Amino acid sequence: MDPQSVLAFLPPDPRLGSIRITRLYFSKFDAVPGPTDPKRVCDELFVELYDPAADYSWTQSYLVATPEGLADLLEEKSWKYLRTGSVIIVRRYDVEDIREAVVDYLIEDPKLASPDVPREQAEWFSL
């Protein structure tokens, strides 16, 4: 499914003010319908945002995973640990819950939702 079509399922969140989520997509699967096994997820989520008040667009990324998906990744890569900043852990895949977590991240850290703060691209490991 087209990443912008996902937004039809996800209305704007008034807590973000003028900021809008314009695209939401994962690296390995479509956000809707989601992964084949909703209890085994570990993938990078990209969220494209736009602030019409500032005419500014940017992209945030997050690691979204279930406990089982994280265990699978650690086993597959033979890693002893995983260290990363923007992580969303869910019991099972639900795009609405994940979007809510993204909005919470944006609200709790004004630097993420402020267009006058330069954004640095996170360095992501290859899943």
**Cβ neighbours of residue 98 under 8 Å, at least 6 residues apart?**
45, 64, 88, 90
* Secondary structure (3-state) at 25: strand
Q: What is the pLDDT of residue 112?
A: 62
Model confidence pLDDT, tens digit, residues 51-98: 888 899 999 999 999 999 999 999 999 999 988 888 999 999 999 999
**pLDDT tens figures, 94-116:** 999 999 999 998 888 766 665 55
For position 54, what pLDDT does the model report? 87
